[in-house]
Structure 1
Amino acid sequence: MKYSKATNYALHTMVYLLLIPDGKSIGVRPLAEFLKVSPTYLSKILTKLVKAGIVESASGVNGGYKLIKNKYDMSFLEIIHAIEGPVSMFNCNLEHVESDNQNCLIENVMLNAEFKMVSYLKEKKIKELTEKIDSNIINLIKNESK
């Protein structure tokens, strides 16, 4: 099971956005520097998070990105779906004979495993990680926010 780099960056970005003080935002450049990724690539990821209604953006001198107020308690799964979409990771494309009861036994195992993983990711909240972040990083992010 492998998620895209975009999902990796989105999850990390969400942790950083949770650390920004209320009413503040952070620009794409400081976020890109934290993640060591191109600002252009990160902008595309942030656009998906904005379209999903998780993040809001503001332009201008004090512009940047911040979480939408009611999104402080979001799950890993919400972020993953915003980037990857809610598609299944496995789909059997073989034609099975009638004696299979028209089910793919392999697909059943894979979907059961995926269901368990999805349930876990739905329960895990991004904000749980903020308690484990080094205070130097927290201060750096707070200083970069506008």
Structure 2
Amino acid sequence: MKYSNATNYALHTMVHIMRLPEGNTIGVQELAEKQKLSPTYLSKILTKLTKAGLIESTPGVKGGYTLSRFQKDVSFLDVINAIEGDTNLFNCSLHHEGCQIEKVMRDAEENMKEELANQLLSGLVERIEEQHSKPISKEAD
């Protein structure tokens, strides 16, 4: 099982956007620099996230991207579906009804989707914020 690099970048992009102070935006150039990506490539990812309603785009000099006001509880699955689409990871190549291998694979996939749906990016952002707020301890030499 492997998600595309675009999904990886989309998840990181969403975390950057969610960490913005309320009312602030961030431009594609700054987001691209943070992830060492080309702005053109990241723009395609941002377009998908915008079309999915996860983020909003504000044009202009002070414009940029911000979290959609309707999306406070974005899950990992929301972002994955925005980038990858909602397709099955496994399909039986024999195309016969009642394939038990396909059933096992679909059940496993549903369990994974349920877990990803339960993992909210807001919880991840909270953990990141906590981690960054802790002082760095020096070990005794």
- TM-score scaled to structure 1, two decimals? 0.85
Q: CA deviation at 1:74?
A: 1.0
Query: Aligned partners of 1:134 and 1:50: how far apart in 2?
Result: 25
1:95 CA displacement: 4.0
Matches within 5 A, 1:19-34: 19-34=19-34
Question: 1:41-78 deviations in whole A, cap 9, x for unaligned?
Answer: 00000000111111111111101000111212111111
CA distance, structure 2, for counterparts of residue 67 and residue 43 of structure 1: 16
> Which of residues 115, 129, 135 in structure 1 aligns to 2:124?
129
RMSD (Å), alpha carbons:
1.8
Structure 2 runs not aligned, ≥5 long: 134-141
1:115 aligns with 2:110: yes
Number of the residue aligned with 1:48: 48
The size of the alignment, in residue pairs, is: 133
User: Aligned in 2, Cα 1:108/1:64: closer, same or farther, shift over 3 Å?
Assistant: same
Name 2:67's counterpart in structure 1. Answer: 67
Task: Say if 1:61 and 1:92 are closer, same or farther in 2 by CA, change over 3 A.
Answer: same
State the 1:93 CA deviation: 2.3
Separation (CA, whole Å) in 1 of partners of 2:22 and 2:95: 54
Q: d(CA) in 2 for partners of 1:105 and 1:79?
A: 30
Runs of at least 4 residues off by over 6 Å? none
Which region of structure 1 is more displaced relative to structure 2, 42-51 or 125-134?
Answer: 125-134
Relative to 1, partners in 2 of residues 1:95 and 1:72: Cα closer, same or farther, differing over 3 Å?
A: closer
Which has more helix, going by share of residues? Answer: 1
Secondary structure at the aligned position of 2:70 is classed as helix
Change (3 A) 1:18 1:95: closer
Aligned to 2:138: none
Aligned residues with identical type, % of pairs: 55
Equivalent residue of 2:98, what SS? Answer: coil
